[in-house]
Structure 1
Amino acid sequence: MHRPEETPSSSAAQTHARANQFLLLRQRRFAPFFWTQFSGAVNDNLLKFAFTVMVTYQLSVSWLPPAMAGLVIGALFILPFLLFSATSGQLADKYEKARMIRFVKNLEIAIMLVAVGGFVAGHVPALLLCTFLMGLHSTLFGPVKYAYLPQVLGERELTGGNGMVEMGTFAAILLGNLAGGLLVALPGMGHTAVAVACVAAALLGRAVAQFIPPAPATDPGLAINWNPFSETWRNLRLAHQSVVVFRSLLGISWMWFFGAVFLSQFPSLSKEVLHGNEQVASLLLLVFSVGIGTGSLLCERLSRRHVEIGLVPLGAIGMSVFAIDLYFALAQLPHAEIMGLGAFLAQGAHWRVLLDLALLSLFAGLYSVPMYALIQMRSLPTHRARIIAANNILNALFMIASSLIAGALLGAGCTVPQIFLFTGVANALVACGIFMLVPEYLLRFVAWVLSHCVYRFRVRGEENLPTTGAAILVCNHVSYVDAVLLMAASPRPICFLMDHRIFRVPVLGALFRLAKAIPVASQKEDPVTYEAAFERAAQVLRAGDLLAIFPEGGITHDGRLQEFKGGIMKILERARADGVQAPVIPMALSNLWGSYFSRIERGRAMVRPLRRGLHSRVGLNVGRPLAPHAVWPESLRAQVAELLAA
C-alpha cells in the first residue's frame, strides 16, 4: 500500500541531495537535534555509571550489596521503557516534535537537580529514583528521536542521518561511562563533581534544543489511550500490517539482545578470561563502541546514500563469523595473573580478541542502521512514533531475556567464551529465519553483492527514480542479471514483468520467484499467463508500487537495442482505466554486453567465467519521467537509445 510522506522530507531531499552525513552537522535541521540527543545519552550513562561505582566501591548499603547494584540500576533504567513507551509514542505523534524534545530536556534538568542532592548527601534512594526518571526521560525521547529524522531528512539522507545518530549514541555511552568513573573517583570532591557535570550536561542539552526547528505533529487529533498494554498490542498489530516493518522490529530487538550479551559480560571477560584489570574492561568497551560507530557511519557509503537493507544480511554474517571466531580466540588463551593495559596489549593473542570484538560490533552497526531507516521510511507517518515506541518495548524485553538466558547459561556451568559461541550460532539461525520470512533482505543483499563486488555499478540520473507513488520503469534487456541491477539502483522494491522462460534458469529463476516477479508469455503462446500477468501488473500500480518491464520481450542476442513490443501500451491502458497516473521512467543499462551474464557466445550466456575480469564497470542511465499519455513504443525506444548513447 502506498504510504504518504511529509513534504519536509521531499524538499530536504532536493535541497540537500549531495550533502553527506557529516555535512548534516552544519545544518540547523539536524545539528541541534544531534547534540541534544548526544548530551542526553551522555547524561544517562554518566549518572548510571557514577552511581554504580559509588555504591560498589564508596558506600556501604546493607540492602543493596555491590554484586546487585549494577543489576538493580540497570533494571530501574529499563523499567520505564516497558511501562511508558506506548504512551510516549502517542505523545510524539500527537504533538509538535521540537516542543516535545524541549519538554523532555526540561524534565532532565529537574531530574538532575534532584540528583545533586542524592550525590552530595550520598542518598541512595534519591539516586535510584533519579535512575528511574532518567529511564523515563529516555523513554519519552526515543520515539520523538526516530520519528523526527524522516520528517527533516530526505530518503537519500536517512541512512546517513541514522548512522550519525547511532555513532553519536555509542560515543555518548562511552564518554558518559568514562566521565562518570573518573569524576566519582576524585578524592574528596567526586560526588560534587558528578552532580555538577550532570546538571551542566542537562543545561547544555536544553540550550541546544532551543535551536531545533519545528517538526509538525503527524496526528494532532489523536486521542491518547493511557492503557500501556492495550496500546502496545494495538501498535504491534499496526506494525504487523507491513511484514517487512514488523520483522524489522524483531530484527532490531535481536540486535539489542546480541549487543547486551557482550556488554554485560565485559567485566567477567576482562577479569576471568583475559586476566586484565579495570583498564582492560574499559578498553573492551572502547573497542566495541568504536566498532559500532564505524559500522554505522559506513552504511551511507556502502549504500550509495539510499536506504539499503541489503547491508543487513552482510551485517548478520559478520556478527556471527566474528562472534564465533572470538570464542576460538579466547579458548587459546593461557591462564595468567591479573595484568594492566600495557601488559595486555603486549601479547599478540589479545590483538586477535580485540580485532574480533571490533569487527563483530562494526557489522552490528551495518546490521542495525538500515533496519531503523527502513522502519522510518515504510511506517505510516501518522503512526511512526507509536511503532518505534513498540519497538522500544520489544528492545527492552529482548535485553531482559538476554540477561536471563546468559545468567541461566552461567548457572549451568557455561563459560563466557561459550556464551559468545552460543550467541554467534543463535544469531546465524535467527538471521536465516528473518531472511527466509522476508525475502526482500536476501534479494537486496544479492543485488548489493552483484553491484559492488561482481561489477563496478554506477547510476546516473538516480534522482529521477521516484521515492513514492506508482511508476513504470522501462529498460533495455542485455543480460540475465538486469533485474538484479535495477534492484540495486532503486531504494524501493520493484515488481518485474519478465519473460516466463527466464524462470527456468538455475539459481536466477529461484531468485526471481523469491522476488515475486511476474512471468509473462505471448498471447499466442499462453493466453492465460498473458492475461494473468497484466492483471498482476495492474495490481502493483494500484498499490502505488514500482513496476519494471523490459519491452524488447527478451534478452538481446547481438547487443543492439531491439524493437519495443506493445505490452507497455496495454499496461498504460489498464492503469488509466483504474484511475492510476503512473509516470514512465526510461532507463538504459550500459556496458553489460560482453559480460558473463549476456548472450555473446553463440547466443549462450554464463559459459566463460571472468570473461571481462572481476569488477568490470557497468552503468545505468535513468531518464526523466514521461507522462503516460506521451508514451508510444517507438518514442520510448528512442528515449532509451538516447540514454544508451549518453
Structure 2
Amino acid sequence: MNDRPIPAAQDAAREHAAHASQYRLLRERRFAPFFWTQFLGAMNDNVFKIGFTSLVTYQAARFSGIDPKTVAFLISAIFIAPFVLFSATSGQVADKFDKAMLTRWVKTFEIAVMLVGAAGFWLHNAPLLYACTFLMGVHSTVFGPVKYAYLPQKLATDELVGGNGLVESGTFVAILLGTIVGGVAAATGASDAGVVGAAGIAGTSTGAVWLGAVCLVLALVGRTVSAFVPPCPPPQPGLRINWNPVSETWRNLRLAHGNRTVFLSLLGISWLWFVGATFLASFFNFAKDVLMADADVVTVLLAMFSFGIGTGSLLCERLSRRRIELGLVPLGSIGMSVFGIDLFFASHALPAAPHLLSVGEFLGVAAHWRVLADLFLLAMFGGFYSVPLYALIQSRSEPSHRARIIAANNILNSLFMIASAMMAMALTRAGVSIPGIFLTTALLNIVVAAYIYTPVPEFLLRFIAWVLLHTFYRVRLVNVERIPVEGPAVLICNHVSYVDAIVIMAESPRPIRFVMDYQIFRHPFFGWVFRHAKAIPMAPAHEDAARLARAYDACAEALADGELVCIFPEGKLTKTGDINPFRHGVMEILRRSPVPVVPMALRGLWGSVFSRQSGPVLPRPRRRGLTSRLTLAVGEPIAPDEATLERLQESVADLRGARR
C-alpha cells in the first residue's frame, strides 16, 4: 500500500505550495521528525569519522601501523564497503516493512555501534575504530533506502524538490557540525600528547572521552526523535526476501536498468558521490601539505563545502519553480568542472608558510579566499546537480520497488566511492599532489557528463530550455498541472515564435514528442534541438505525401506507447500575432488515436526576440526582446469524441485572450 496523497490532497498541497516555502515542511509531523532523525545520524557519522581521521592524521604516533597520507581514503573505503554487501537486502527490507519501524530499529543499532566506537577512542585502538567505521556503514546502508523511499510516500510530487533540497542541505549542515565537534574533540586530546596513563596507554583520555560521549549522546537523541516519525506502510508487505546479496544485487541493478533515464540518473548521483568523496577525504592532507594549515582550517574548508552544497540544494526549489527541473543538472556539471579546475590553479598560487597556519592566519592571506570561493561554488553547483536527480528517481520509479531502486543507487554509490578511494590512493602513491587529484576529478567530470547526456538528451534539452527562459523571458504558468503526468494525450497550442516548443518543453512535467514542420530541421540550432528531442517532422501532402504519412504513423506509435504528442494546428508561425485557422492534421491524429486533447495558449511571445516579423528567417530583436514576460495557459482536457476543429480553435483562442 502506498500512502502518498490522493489527487485531491495533491491539489491542495500544490495550491498551498504556491504561497508557502519548502521550510513549512519543518513544522509538519510527516517530515520534521524524519528530517531531524537523518540529520542527527549524518552528524554522528561525521563526529566519529572526523574525530578518527583527525587523530590519525595529526597524531599518527599514537596509532601503530597507520600511514597518515592514505588513512583518510582507507576509512572512507571501509565505511562504504557495507553498501556493496548489504544494499540489495536493505532495499527489500525497506519495501517489505514499515519505514518508521525500520528507522527506530536503525537508531537503536546506532547506540550499540557507538559503544564500540567509544571503546576504540578510549584505547586508541585502530582495529576497533575500523570495526566501528564498518558498523556505521551498515547503519547507513540500511537507512539509505528507507530515507529516500520515505519522501515520495509522504510528499506530493511538487514538494519533492523542496523536500530533497532540505534533506541534502540538512545533511551537509550536519556534516559541518559533525566536523566541528569531531575536530574540536580530537584537538582537545592533542593538548596532552605524550602523557601516559596508569594503564600505559599513550596520550590523553580527554579527547577520547569527549568523542565517545558525544557520539553516544547523538545516537540517544536520534533514537528519541525517531519515535515521532509517523507510520509509513510498506508498498509490498508480502515480498519474499532474497538473502543472497550477490544475486539480489544483480537483480536490483537489472531492475534499475529497466528505465534508461532513471538508470543514468543513478549513475549521475553515484558520480557526484565519487567527486564528493574525493574532495572530502582529501581535505586533511590538503590543509596540512598544500595550504600549510592546522587541523582547525579543515573545518573552514568543510564549512565552505557544506554551505555551498546546502545553498545549491535550497536554491533548487526557487530555480526550478517547485518542479523537477532536469535543466539544472547540466548546469551543475559545468560549474563543478569549472571551479574544480580553478581550484587546481588556485592551489599553485599560494605563498609559502613558515609553519602550520591557524584559522586567523589562514584567512588573513588573500590567495586563500580564492580557494574557499572555489570550494563553495563547486559544492553549490553540486547541489544544483544532485537534488533534481534524486527527485527524478523518486518520481519516475515504480512505488512497488522504489526502495530497491534506491538500494541499487546505494550499491552504485558505494562502488563509485570505493573507486574514488582507490584512485586517490593510487595517484598519491604515484606522486600526484592533492591539487592534481582535484584536477583529475574535474576533468573526469566532463567525460562522465558527456556519457550521461549523450544517450539521454532530455537533460541537455531541458538545460537549453531553462537557460533560454531565464535569459529572454519571465514565464507565468496558468494551470500547468493539467498537462497529464502519465498516459497518452495530444497537446495543441497556438504558434507564435521559433521557441514555442522549447517553452512548452521546459514547463512540461515529462518529455513531449513535437510535430514540427520538416523545414525547421534545416536550421543548425533548432534542427539539432528537435532532432534530439525526437520531434516528428511533418510536410504538407502536396509537398511530400510520404513524409506526411510517416508523421501520422509516428504520432500513432508514440501515443500507443503512452507518450505526449504536441502539435501546432495552425501549421505555420503567425505573421500578425493573430491565430491562423487550424488545419485538419490534428483531427487525423485523433482519428487514428482517440486520446484526450489538452489545449494550451502562449501569450506575450509576439514581438519578442524569436517571433516572426517577415520571411522564414530568424527575426531582428524587438525592443521587448530580453525582458519579455510571457504566459503559458493550459485548459481542461477535451475528450476525443468531443473534439472538433472549431472547438479546439475556440479553446485555444479563449486561453490566449486578447494578449498576443
Name the TM-score, length of structure 1 as normaliser.
0.93
What residue in structure 1 maps to residue 600 of structure 2? Answer: 587
Question: What letter corresponds to residue 493 of structure 1 in structure 2?
Answer: P
**1:468-507 residue pairs with structure 2 within 5 A?**
468-507=486-525
Task: Name the CA distance, whole Å, in 1 between partners of 2:302 and 2:269.
Answer: 21
Task: Name the CA distance, whole Å, in 2 between partners of 1:545 and 1:99.
Answer: 39
Question: What letter corresponds to residue 129 of structure 1 in structure 2?
Answer: A
What residue in structure 2 maps to residue 93 of structure 1? Answer: 95
Question: What letter corresponds to residue 588 of structure 2 in structure 1?
Answer: K
Task: Name the CA distance, whole Å, in 2 between partners of 1:10 and 1:215.
Answer: 18
Matched, 1:643 2:645: no
What residue in structure 2 maps to residue 166 of structure 1? Answer: 168
Residues 501 and 55 (structure 1 numbering): CA distance in 2 closer, same or farther, change over 3 Å?
Answer: closer
Question: What letter corresponds to residue 288 of structure 1 in structure 2?
Answer: F
Task: Name the CA distance, whole Å, in 2 between partners of 1:69 and 1:608.
Answer: 61
Q: Bigger shift: 196-205 or 114-123?
A: 114-123
Residue of 113, 133, 136 corresponding to 1:134: 136
Q: Bigger shift: 153-162 or 56-65?
A: 56-65
Residue of 597, 601, 604 corresponding to 2:610: 597
What residue in structure 2 maps to residue 51 of structure 1? Answer: 52
C-alpha contact (below 8 Å) 1:6/1:151 kept by paired residues:
yes
**1:251-400 residue pairs with structure 2 within 5 A?**
251-338=268-355, 339-400=357-418
Task: Name the CA distance, whole Å, in 2 between partners of 1:68 and 1:417.
Answer: 15
C-alpha contact (below 8 Å) 2:539/2:548 kept by paired residues:
yes
Task: Name the CA distance, whole Å, in 2 between partners of 1:37 and 1:115.
Answer: 19
Task: Name the CA distance, whole Å, in 2 between partners of 1:638 and 1:571.
Answer: 19
**1:199-210 residue pairs with structure 2 within 5 A?**
199-210=216-227
Unaligned runs of 5+ in 1: 577-581
C-alpha contact (below 8 Å) 1:9/1:152 kept by paired residues:
no
Residue of 225, 231, 239 corresponding to 1:214: 231
C-alpha contact (below 8 Å) 2:63/2:125 kept by paired residues:
no
Matched, 1:144 2:146: yes
Question: What letter corresponds to residue 632 of structure 2 in structure 1?
Answer: L
C-alpha contact (below 8 Å) 2:148/2:403 kept by paired residues:
yes
Q: Bigger shift: 620-629 or 251-260?
A: 620-629
* Paired residue total: 637
C-alpha contact (below 8 Å) 1:162/1:372 kept by paired residues:
yes
What residue in structure 2 maps to residue 13 of structure 1? Answer: 10
Deviation (angstroms), 1:117:
4.4
Question: What letter corresponds to residue 273 of structure 1 in structure 2?
Answer: V
Task: Name the CA distance, whole Å, in 1 between partners of 2:460 and 2:253.
Answer: 24
Task: Name the CA distance, whole Å, in 1 between partners of 2:217 and 2:7.
Answer: 37
Deviation digits for residues 5-27 of structure 1 (CA, Å, limit 9, x no counterpart): 87437455323211422111111
C-alpha contact (below 8 Å) 1:289/1:361 kept by paired residues:
yes
C-alpha contact (below 8 Å) 1:9/1:150 kept by paired residues:
no
Q: RMSD across aligned C-alpha pairs, in angstroms?
A: 2.3
Secondary structure of the corresponding residue to residue 633 of structure 2: strand
C-alpha contact (below 8 Å) 2:111/2:219 kept by paired residues:
yes
Task: Name the CA distance, whole Å, in 2 between partners of 1:414 and 1:72.
Answer: 17
What residue in structure 2 maps to residue 40 of structure 1? Answer: 41
Task: Name the CA distance, whole Å, in 2 between partners of 1:430 and 1:86.
Answer: 25
**1:100-249 residue pairs with structure 2 within 5 A?**
100-120=102-122, 124-186=126-188, 189-249=206-266
Q: Bigger shift: 272-281 or 243-252?
A: 272-281
Secondary structure of the corresponding residue to residue 423 of structure 1: helix
Question: What letter corresponds to residue 592 of structure 1 in structure 2?
Answer: L
What residue in structure 1 maps to residue 200 of structure 2? Answer: none
Task: Name the CA distance, whole Å, in 1 between partners of 2:567 and 2:647.
Answer: 16
Residues 353 and 176 (structure 1 numbering): CA distance in 2 closer, same or farther, change over 3 Å?
Answer: same
Residues 528 and 205 (structure 1 numbering): CA distance in 2 closer, same or farther, change over 3 Å?
Answer: same
Q: Bigger shift: 262-271 or 81-90?
A: 262-271
Deviation (angstroms), 1:248:
1.2
C-alpha contact (below 8 Å) 2:2/2:233 kept by paired residues:
no
Residues 587 and 52 (structure 1 numbering): CA distance in 2 closer, same or farther, change over 3 Å?
Answer: same
Task: Name the CA distance, whole Å, in 2 between partners of 1:137 and 1:10.
Answer: 35
Question: What letter corresponds to residue 100 of structure 1 in structure 2?
Answer: L
**1:564-575 residue pairs with structure 2 within 5 A?**
564-575=582-593
Question: What letter corresponds to residue 625 of structure 2 in structure 1?
Answer: G
Question: What letter corresponds to residue 586 of structure 1 in structure 2?
Answer: P
Deviation (angstroms), 1:360:
0.9
**1:447-596 residue pairs with structure 2 within 5 A?**
447-576=465-594, 582-596=595-609
Task: Name the CA distance, whole Å, in 2 between partners of 1:38 and 1:270.
Answer: 26
Deviation (angstroms), 1:120:
4.8
Secondary structure of the corresponding residue to residue 625 of structure 2: coil
Residue of 267, 271, 278 corresponding to 1:250: 267
Task: Name the CA distance, whole Å, in 2 between partners of 1:546 and 1:90.
Answer: 33
C-alpha contact (below 8 Å) 2:571/2:583 kept by paired residues:
yes
Secondary structure of the corresponding residue to residue 219 of structure 2: helix
Secondary structure of the corresponding residue to residue 632 of structure 2: strand
What residue in structure 2 maps to residue 579 of structure 1? Answer: none
What residue in structure 2 maps to residue 84 of structure 1? Answer: 86
Secondary structure of the corresponding residue to residue 624 of structure 1: coil
What residue in structure 2 maps to residue 627 of structure 1? Answer: 639
Matched, 1:60 2:58: no
Deviation (angstroms), 1:184:
4.5
Q: Percent identity?
A: 56
Task: Name the CA distance, whole Å, in 2 between partners of 1:156 and 1:165.
Answer: 15
Task: Name the CA distance, whole Å, in 2 between partners of 1:645 and 1:92.
Answer: 51
Task: Name the CA distance, whole Å, in 2 between partners of 1:200 and 1:122.
Answer: 20
Deviation digits for residues 184-228 of structure 1 (CA, Å, limit 9, x no counterpart): 454654333333322222222222222222222222232212121
Deviation (angstroms), 1:72:
4.3
